[in-house]
Amino acid sequence: MKTTIIGLFILIMSAQLSLGQPGLNPTNRTFTTSEQEIINLSKDKWQWMADKKADVLDNLFLEKAMFVHMGGSWGKEQEVNIIKGGMIWYKKAEIHDVTVNIIDNTAILLNKITLLAVVGGNEVTNPFMVTEVYIKQNGGWKLGSLSFSHLLTPPAPGAAPNPDSH
């Protein structure tokens, strides 16, 4: 009887561990090749934004791309001009968590980040959940939407950045 109870307990515990909650802790997850491609493209995008590579970003953004910030929303041309003109300088995006879902030719990526930026000449740090939507066209991924949602609480102190983000 005692062996049966212990065996049942082990079975229940292993079932709970194997089910997990995919997407909530992707640092322990293996990504598909396509998912990793999107994660890498997003990481590159953050670096291009930090480096103010407006021409590279202009090529990445779809013509009808939409951008949502704390201060408003606008299209591709205004976003590229904001980056080029330095009105927003995305100095560093520290990525704490990443989730990506690919549905047909659309990839939806969520990044939980701490963003260090210069906005209107003032350096600010904010925690965000960033939604990025990529569309596959002519064999390559293009950004169709970038949306910042301000988080009320920053990532936990000492939270390790996602190893795929650096």
Does residue 6 belong to any structural domain of this protein? no
The amino acid at residue 166 is H
d(CA 108, CA 38): 9
Does residue 132 belong to any structural domain of this protein? yes
Burial 61-95 (b: 16+ CB within 10 A, else e): bbeebbbebeeeeeebeebbebbeeeebbbeebbb
| pLDDT of 160 higher than 70 | no
> What tens digit of pLDDT does each residue of 22-35 get?
343 445 678 999 99
Does residue 145 belong to any structural domain of this protein? yes
> What tens digit of pLDDT does each residue of 102-141 get?
999 999 999 999 999 999 899 999 999 999 999 999 999 9
The vertex-109 CA angle with 104 and 111, nearest 5°, equals 175
| pLDDT of 84 higher than 60 | yes
Q: Is 86 left (phi over 0), alpha (psi -120 to 50) or beta?
A: left
Does residue 69 belong to any structural domain of this protein? yes
CATH number at residue 87: 3.10.450.50
Percent over 70 (pLDDT), the chain: 75
β strands within 30-139, DSSP E: 61-69, 72-75, 88-103, 106-119, 122-137
Alpha-carbon torsion angle 37, 38, 41, 47, nearest 10: -130
Specify the pLDDT at position 112: 96
Task: For residue 101, give its domain range.
Answer: 29-165
Specify the pLDDT at position 138: 93
